[in-house]
Each structure stands twice: as structure tokens, then as C-alpha cells.
Structure 1
Amino acid sequence: MFAKAFRVKSNTAVKGSDRRKLRADVAATFPTLSAEQLSKVVPNKEELNVIKLYTHKGDAVTVYANSRNPALFEVEKTLYPTVYTLWAHPDLLPAFTTWPPVLHKLVGGADLMLPGVVVPSAGLPQIDPGTLCAITLVGNRAPVAVGVSTMSTVEMLAAGMKGKGFTVLHTYMDQLWSFGDKTCLPTILSLEGEPGTEHAEEEEQDDKSEEGKVSENSLPVDSSLPTDIGNMSLNETMEGAEVGGNEEPSEDGAAESVEEGNLDDPQVLEDSRSPQEQMDALLHQCFFHSLKCKVKKSELPLLTSTFLRNYMFSCCPKGQQIDIKKSSYKKFSKFLQLMQQQKILQVKELSKGVESIVDVDWRHVSIRSFVVPEIASSESPAQDSKGADGEQLYHPPEIIPLYGVSSKMAPLFQESGYKKGSTLSSSEVRSAVINYVKINELVEETNKNFVKVDPILCDCLLNKSEQNEISKLKWDDLLSRVCDKKMKKKKSWFLYAAFPYPKEAQSGLQSPSLSSPHNRHPVRCLDQLQPFHQVTFAGHEPIVRKGNIDPIDITIAQRSSNKKVTIIKNLELYGLDPQAVANILQQKVQASATVTTLPGTKDRAQVQIQGNQINHLAKLLLEDYQIHRKYIQGLEKAPKTGRKK
């Protein structure tokens, strides 16, 4: 739940009445707590804050912090203790033991699988499904995770200790732990008489050799431990890089990942570094990888934002994601400034406020000595167009207006092979109309600018009041009558190109001037022909939808205290992920952004970000995503950028 960074909504002190209510709720949830222990979890007078936050998945969580450290967190009106609280009260919850290397998987967001649970000689604690439990490491009673059991103890044993055992909610070294003072995992030795100690004593009696004895400085070890792990000290077992070189704890692994049995995974080895150091290393790796394998000299100058999004993100290993804020640089511009000081590249501000990479020294020793990771070099060329987490890089869709043949217009298009329900492009509509006139020889012999109106043209194109008065139509009037009269003003931007005059009209004695604006007729969604549109995304089959495509709608709304918010709708119609757009905007403008369900829909979402951010949004949509301006509505509401007097 807290594997990734969360967003804090509020942080306030707990009132006296709320403190008393919280103490009563804690006492009811954890009845084993004594009055003295309860006063330590929920102090009477010491500082106690309530923090409301949203996880990376959007879950609302309430956290109660005691002396800065999170003590409890509440999800859907259920209280859970944090590892800080469990270290002070290790017997608060039923405890299950796992192998030290599994901790790294749990911190990464995996759940605890039953093959990773150590079964002591005294047996497992008796629990029911849905029981809140603590997870500890071999040789240390200090809990490292809090989880909810998915089955009872009897069901676990009946299943042969296979399958998912616990849904992990919070772990040592996750983001909730980092929100406190980041106290390291304490060492709480097993009590006398506990399963580990008893088994060690039995082993001593059965095997009277020196190899089977437990020294005074070593910890009690379960017999199921591999020899190399059993002889390690607690500090050594906490290092994932030093565990399991010769033997794995279980054949099936301990977490949900298929590969988690492989304890030599480089990602596990790197976990010994701090998160900031890991992000710095990832940033450098993706930077040099993109310069060595992706960027070409012909592509310079290159926008720094494009370089980050289209090149560095695509070099990011699967399962990892670049987050500049989690690095020591905090801003991408500072990172590039350092690279420029090392004379690896040169960055200039070609236009006001927009930086571009104008030169790269590919002979620099840092680039030449960089070794491309084996995983990246073994990927197929088709994966070069993929971004972080294997997602395909965005390409703007191709949008084509289409027209569906209605029952009223079907006779006019029947001779061209179209029937009711067929969808046509504008050029196909024009060809079908001209083809009908040719087949039925409706062009006037004396003046080829006119077309005689037969019964089918009369029924399809003329109003009832005109049917007894009009016997012929000009070519431009004929094609214009096929068009939607309601859309003449709205679609005037799409002109003569799709409906040029036929050669018959151009060869007439009184052929109209094609350059005159009065003789240009817009191709519109047809009145009699139903409007459709075709959207084609890169690498996918075309999608045909009824009606005109809705533009990306940008509006400014007023909230309480005269605050403005920018609301963006219809991003999904253009293949854009609302959550991804919200994350990018949030990083660019440093303002809170949320994604909510669009009212009246089930599968559509809208992005809301604080302030009038249309200028930043226009740059993102027009320049980065390269969406045509005609498909964006509301850009004119952008704030003026002039200096304030």
C-alpha cells in the first residue's frame, strides 16, 4: 500500500475529544493492550497528529503520528499498527516468520506467499481468515511488516503451505516508515521456550558435534534454515546481497513475483543503497544509455523535455520508473547542468523558457565507457519505441471524418455499391454522387453546369416545398445539398479540397471560378448521411465511432475562497492516460492534481489541477503530444503572460 510515494492532504493536531475516541477505538481493536501500553500508543498530553493522505493508487488513508512517528493508520474504518508501534509491542499481533531476503520483495509491494513462511517445530499460530498479523524475520522478533491473512492456519497446512498467505499492507523501509524518523530495525531476541530455542536445544542433544552447537553469540535457529543462512549474524542476514548464494529458502519463492526465488537478482543487490542513491544511479544509467544508443546527431537540437520523456524513459528497466524528485538533483535542469559542467553535452535556451540540447560529445570517456545493461541490449528493436514500464510511447491518432448512409439516402448510393449503414469518406461521397449523375445521364447537354433532378434526387435532396418548383440544380448546389445544413457555420474550415467541381462542370461554357470563395463548399457531417469518425492509433486497427469526435475540453472552474482549477476532459478519446497527464502536469507546475470519474460516465475520467494551467497544458498537448489545435477546446481561456505593472 505504501510501496510508492503518497500525497498528503492535511496534517493537523488531534483534538481532545478525538483523542479520547481514538483511545477507545484502539482499546477495542487491540484488547491485549494494558492501560499503560495504551497511553503510550495514544498519549494523553504528548503531541499527536492526524494526517490524511492518498496512496499512489488513490486510496484514502488516515495516519495517526505520535512524536512524529506514524503509530497507527486507518483504512476503511479499520485501525492497523505501524512497525514503529509493533517494535514497542512485539506481541500485539500473531507473528509469522519469513526469510530475510524476502523483506526486499515485501518492501517492493509483493504479498507474502506461504512457501516463504517458516514453520517452527511448535507449529504456526492459530488464526482465522482476515486476521491482522505481524511478519518477522528468522532470529528477530521485531516485526518487519503488517498483513492480513487470506486463509486460516488449518487451510494453510491443508494447502501444503502453497499459495498466497498474507496481503501485506505496510512494511519496514516503505514510504510510511520513511515518513517517520526512519529508525532502523531493532533486534529483539527470541524468548526462552519459544519454538526456535527449543528446536536448537533438541538439535544440540541429538547431534553432539561442535557443528551442531549454538555459540553464545549466535541466535537460535530453526532446523529448516539452510546451513549458510543459519550461521549468519542478524546484521548479515539483513543484507539481501549476502543471502542465498548457494541455496534458496523455497522452491516456489516467498512473494508473488515469478523470479523472486533468484536471490542473486541485481535489483535485490542494489536495495542496500538508500532510495535517493538508487534513483541517482538509475538517472545516470538511463542518461548514458539514451545518449549511447538512442539519440542521433541529426536530431539535435533536442528539447530537454522530449529527451527525458521519449529517450530516457524508454531506457528505464522494466519495473522501475524515473522520478527526478526522489533523486538528489530534484530538478532535471540541475542534472543537465552537472552534465554540462562535465562537458558531456551543451544546453541552450533557444526560445524563452525552453531549453534544448544543442550538442553532445559522443567521444567523452563517460559515454564511451558506459556498458549497456544486458537486459536492455537483449531486447528486440521493437521495444525501442516503448517507454517506462514497457508502455508504448504516445503517437497522436489519425482522425478521419466518415459519413454513414441513411435509409433515405440509400437509393442515391446504391448504384455505387453502398447500402444502408455503409460508412464513406468525403471523397467517396463525392465520387458516388458524380457516379450516380453519370450513370443516369443527368448532366444537361446545353449547359454542363446543371444537373437534372430525377425522382431519386428529388426525394433525397429537395424539401417538399421545392419538389414542384426545381427541375435542375447546379453542381455546386447539388453537392451542397448533400451537406448538413446545420453544420455550415461549424465546419467552414474544411473547404473545397474534398468536394472539387467535377470535370463536367469545369468544361461548361459558364463554369464557375474555382478560386472564388463563394464557390467553395465545405464538406460537413451530412444531414441525410449520418456523421461518423475513424480514429487510428499507432500499431492498432482503426476504430470507427458514430458522431463527431469530441475535442479535448479544457475549462476553468471557481472553487471556494475564489480559487481557480483547470479541468480537462476527453483525454481517453485521443489515447491519453488521464493519470499520466495529471502526473506530468503536477511535476511541471508543482500544483495538486487529481483524477476523478467524469460525471455521467463509467469509463471516462477528468483531470483537475489547481490554478489556471492552460498555458502549460497547451504546451503539453500541442508540442509534446502533437495534437492538432482544432481538437482542443478552451485554449483561449489561458491567462495573459504580460508583466504586471
Structure 2
Amino acid sequence: MITRKLRADISAAFPSLSVEELNELVPNKEELNIVKIYAHKGDAVTLYVLHKNPIFFQLEKQLFPTVYTLWRCPNMLPAFTTWPPVLQKLSGGADLMLPGVVLSTSGLPEVNRGECCAVTLVMNRAPVAVGTAAMSSAEMRNSGMKGKGVNVLHTYMDQLWAFGDKTHPPVIPVTNSPTQVEGEEEGEECEEEEEEVKDSSENVAVETACQSLQELKLAENEVLKEESVEDKEGENIDGEEGDSRSPQEQMDELLLQCFLHALKTKVKKSELPLLTSTFLRNHMVSCCPRGKQLDIKKSSYKKLSKFLQIMQRDHSLLQVKELSKGVESIVDVDWRNPELCSFKIPEDCALEKEFEEGDGACEVEYQPPEITPLYGVTARLEPLFQDAHKKKGTSLKATEVRNIITEYVKKNELVNEINKNYVIINPTLCDCLLEKSEYQEVEMLKWDDLISRTLIRMQACHEVLFPGQPPVVKKGQMEPIDITVASRGSNKKVTVIKNLEAFGLDPAMVAEALQHQVQASCVLHDCPGAKNRVLVQIQGNQVQHVGKLLLDRYQIPRKYVQGLDKAPKPGKKK
């Protein structure tokens, strides 16, 4: 129902999309998640998330595509082109000013005021920002290309992009050259543009554009050379000289190469069953050689399901089953298959893998934080810590508190001479540690009682130390990860997990891991009453699986995982 409505809304908002493109963006049988968030200005935003990536967002009842969607359909919106250094300004929250717009030979795109549009960079048609036109194309021309051009809502490298899998823009060559790069009077045009930029108080045009003109022109020449080579070779997708195969045949070979590479080096038996969509997104795509792009629609198979069926039927490499309605998973892989055993990783992929590992680009294994309880000096106890130069608000470890109290007692000669297990109460200790009813009655305290009273009256704090990061001190005790089981309509059970962020865990990654592990629907929701917090909800009582994931895989100490007792008892239904 949700998918059908979203498809209708997208079709109405973006009529230029073909039925095939719409089916690719919002597949009928794929699970679509809806996440409601609040922007930093307080605006309510609805995200539509597919395969972890936000594909559309709705603001004030208007639908906008994300950069992830525009990279798959780059012609979906009219686009304004700007210089690469402008992207940093846009990502920082600035709007695109007209002096920073680079005109191509086809001129300005035709837009109306308030119309949804995209922003691209010189030499690449992959959009890097989405927004609304601040004025119509006619008004832009009449203004002499001065003023604001695009009200930017979302950019590559912003928080919405970071909500997804954080992939980088593909390289899509441009067909029209920017007019500023052509001609003999390039220096004069740059100087004029710089003057326009400096006159705008809110400009985001590039003052370094003139310095990079020569580099841009060289890059453009390289693109033109590559395009001419590809034309001569019949639009060869890999650019290899003398390859007479059709682009479809080459894509078939690339698809098979990535498939075998992924099975041999990426997929582990412990991951099975593995969603086919996840296998493509996380494993096959990462095995694609640099400079090439895996596109099943350009192969003879057209669909991943058909390709996997053939790999199962004709090659006996794997087994695919539909474990839930409309969702296929890889349930078994024959790692002894002669075709898989004889497959050798191409040299360019092997070199790239070594480079990524040496460069630290591979995924870093999660390491739990070190959590240390601390105690903050309060106003009441400040006189007791004055000699140690510890002011109000200072956070100390329990051992440090004990040493300071011990030093205070010895310095003021408060140890009872008859029984050294007791400490004499002086006026400072009386004010700091005794209740009013004890003022006239208590004259001495045992050492342990003295220390425990001190710690109880201090403010609870804790220090969180992640590997490779500076420690962070927070007030209060460390809030544990909370696992609860709740009932949703028709007495259906769901497991809810909260406070993953405090331990440096990405809720989306935890949700994906659980979804693979138990093959159940898993969604993310805003955590009520907590800003920038997300809770994970998974169908069924999955407390046992959640506990195993947190304790064994992520090594979270058991005392910081709350709700493990809610796991179903053996022999009972979940």
C-alpha cells in the first residue's frame, strides 16, 4: 500500500520518469521503510528508505529525490552546473548563487520559481545537490546572472547522505562543454566572474576557479579523447582496444566476473541465508574493477533474479530460495564447484584490494568503548577537595577520590589515635558528609563509611573512550542498551532495541545484521523524547539473537545490556 502510493506520488511529481526507471527506483517486491526525522530548523521530514539508502524525502508535502536516486537517474531533474570547490560551500549550508553557475553551450535549464532542480559539477553530470529554483530561468537572465539561483535542501556529504551507505558520486561524462572553458579570453571571463562573486554578500562562487581553469581544460580534453576512442570502438564499455564484442556481451562477462569474485572472497558461510539484494549491493558491486560500473539492465539477463537462476540451474554454484513472500535469499553456496575453484581474481581487482587495505579504506572492525565510572565534585563537597585544587564540576575516578580524602584526613591529623580504623569528624567533614540529625551525635566515622558517604554525595559521571578517539566525559551513569518486547496489533510480538548510539553502534548496521541473521522484517524509528536517537524494531521475540549479536560480535559488557531476561524460554513459542 505504501509502495503503491509512493510510486503514484513520484510519477505525478516527476512525469519525465519512464515506467522502467520507476520500477527500478521503487521495486514492487522490495521492502520500503519510512523514517520521520526533524531537520535542524525544526522542519518535519519524511524519508523513504530502500536497501538502507534514503531514495526520496518529503518536506512540506513536496517530494524530492536524494542524490542516491539522482545518481541512478541523472536526467530526472533540470540541473545547474557549478565549479567543484563550490560543493564544500553547499555542504556547509549555503545556497547556490548565480555568479557561481557555469553555463554550457545549451544555456540555462528552463525552470520555474520553486521547481525542484539539481546541481552538478563541471565535467560530471552526477548531481551533488538538490533544491528549489529561487527564480525562474527568465528572471535569472534578466538579473544578469546575479543573486540566488537555487535554494539548496540536500547535498552529497550532508547528514541525509550519511544516513545511507555513504557511496560517492559516479563519474558521468558531460555532453556539452562549459562556455567559460572555451574561447581565447578565459582570463578576462574569470576576472569578471570573480568581481561578480565578490560583489555578492552571500556568494558561493569559487575564487579559485581561475587557478583551476587549466586543469579543467586538460580534464575536458581527456574526456573528449576517451569519448572519441569509445566511439571508434563501437561504444566499448571497458575501452579495450580491438574488442569487437557488443556492450551487452561485455556486461555479461563483467557480471559473471563480479559474481564469482564475490562468492570466492566476500561471502562467508556464517552470513547465509543472505538476501540477494544485499549480495548484489554489498558484495558484487564492491568487486567491480575501478573505472567500470556494474549495470544488470545493460546485460542480457536484465534482472538479478534471472541471472541467479541461471547460475543455480546451469552452473550449480548456489541455491536461491524465497524464504518470505517476494524476497529471495541465497541459502547455500557450493565452494567446491570447479568453476568457482578455478576462478582467479583479475590483477586490477587484486591490486585495488591491496591498495584499499594499505590505505585503510576497508571496513574497520567495531571495537567497544571503555567505560569508566567517574564522580563529580559538587558545591557541598568543594571545601573537602579545596586542598587538592579540585573545583566544582571536576570529574574524578574512585581511586582518586579515596587518595584525596586520605590525604585530607592525614594532613588535618583526624585519624583516631586509639583506634586507627576511625576518623574524627571536624567541621568541614560535618558540613560535607553528615545529615543535620547527625550533627550532635556522630563524632567519628569508619574509613569505609567516610569514603562511601563521599562518593554517594558526588555527582555520578562516566567517561567513554573509543579506540583512537579522545575520551568523552558525560554526566550521569552510562545508560545501557535497552531490549524490550512489545505487542503490536493481533498480538504480534516485536523486539525493540534502544540506545545503540551511546556505544558507537550504527542502528542501521545493527538492523541489517539482525535482518540477515533471523530473516525477519526490521525497521528504524525515531526514539520518542530523544533527539538524534533511533530505535531498531524487528518482528518476533528476537531477544536471544540480539543478545548474542551484542555480547559476542560487538563485545558489549553484559552489565550494559538490559532486557536479556525477556528471551523466550526453551520449549515455548516466541
TM range (shorter): 0.5 to 0.7
* Corresponding residue number in structure 1 for 2:112: 128
Residues 114/370 of structure 1: CA separation in 2 closer, same or farther (3 Å cut): closer
* Corresponding residue number in structure 1 for 2:401: 429
Taking the TM superposition and a 5 Å limit, the aligned residue runs for 1:232-631 are 236-237=234-235, 240-241=237-238, 272-273=251-252, 277=256, 280-281=259-260, 283-284=262-263, 286-287=265-266, 304=270, 316=286, 328=308, 329=318, 337-340=333-336, 373-379=350-356, 381=358, 383=360, 386-387=362-363, 392-482=364-454, 526-631=455-560
Q: Distance in 2 between matches of 1:463 and 1:366?
A: 78
Amino acid at match of 1:565: V
Aligned Cα root-mean-square deviation (Å): 5.8
Normalised to the residue count of structure 2, the TM-score between the two structures is 0.54
The answer to whether the 8 A contact 2:230-2:239 is kept is no
What do the CA deviations read for 1:49-101 (whole angstroms, capped 9, x no partner)? Answer: 99997379886679xxxxxxxxxx99986799xxxxxxxxxxxxxxxxxxxxx
Residues 340/426 of structure 1: CA separation in 2 closer, same or farther (3 Å cut): farther
The answer to whether the 8 A contact 1:11-1:51 is kept is no
What do the CA deviations read for 1:139-188 (whole angstroms, capped 9, x no partner)? Answer: xxxxxxxx99857555599779xx999999xxxxxxxxxxxxxxxxxxxx
The answer to whether the 8 A contact 2:462-2:473 is kept is yes
Percent identical residues = 37
Unaligned runs of 5+ in 1: 1-7, 33-48, 63-72, 81-102, 135-146, 169-224, 246-267, 289-301, 345-363, 483-525
Residues 337/455 of structure 1: CA separation in 2 closer, same or farther (3 Å cut): same
The answer to whether the 8 A contact 1:596-1:606 is kept is yes
Q: Secondary structure at the match of 2:505?
A: coil
The answer to whether the 8 A contact 2:131-2:150 is kept is no
The answer to whether the 8 A contact 2:369-2:467 is kept is yes
Q: Distance in 2 between matches of 1:75 and 1:167?
A: 10
Q: Identify the range of structure 1 (602-611 vs 532-541) with the bigger mean alpha-carbon deviation.
A: 602-611
Report the CA distance between 1:404 and its aligned residue.
0.4
Q: Distance in 1 between matches of 2:63 and 2:490?
A: 34
Amino acid at match of 1:580: M
Q: Distance in 2 between matches of 1:431 and 1:589?
A: 51
Amino acid at match of 2:525: T
Residues 571/128 of structure 1: CA separation in 2 closer, same or farther (3 Å cut): same
The answer to whether the 8 A contact 2:264-2:335 is kept is no
Amino acid at match of 1:54: L
* Corresponding residue number in structure 1 for 2:162: none
Report the CA distance between 1:335 and its aligned residue.
8.0
Q: Distance in 2 between matches of 1:634 and 1:541?
A: 30
Unaligned runs of 5+ in 2: 17-26, 37-45, 50-56, 65-69, 83-101, 119-129, 155-222, 242-246, 295-303, 309-317, 322-327
Amino acid at match of 1:396: P
Structure of larger gyration radius? 1
What do the CA deviations read for 1:198-249 (whole angstroms, capped 9, x no partner)? Answer: xxxxxxxxxxxxxxxxxxxxxxxxxxx9799689999945x64459x9xxxx
Higher relative contact order (CA 8 A, sep 6+): 2
Q: Distance in 2 between matches of 1:589 and 1:430?
A: 48
Report the CA distance between 1:431 and its aligned residue.
0.9
Q: Distance in 2 between matches of 1:454 and 1:582?
A: 57
The answer to whether the 8 A contact 2:35-2:526 is kept is no
Report the CA distance between 1:593 and its aligned residue.
1.6
The answer to whether the 8 A contact 2:78-2:111 is kept is no
Q: Identify the range of structure 1 (594-603 vs 375-384) with the bigger mean alpha-carbon deviation.
A: 375-384
Residues 598/305 of structure 1: CA separation in 2 closer, same or farther (3 Å cut): same
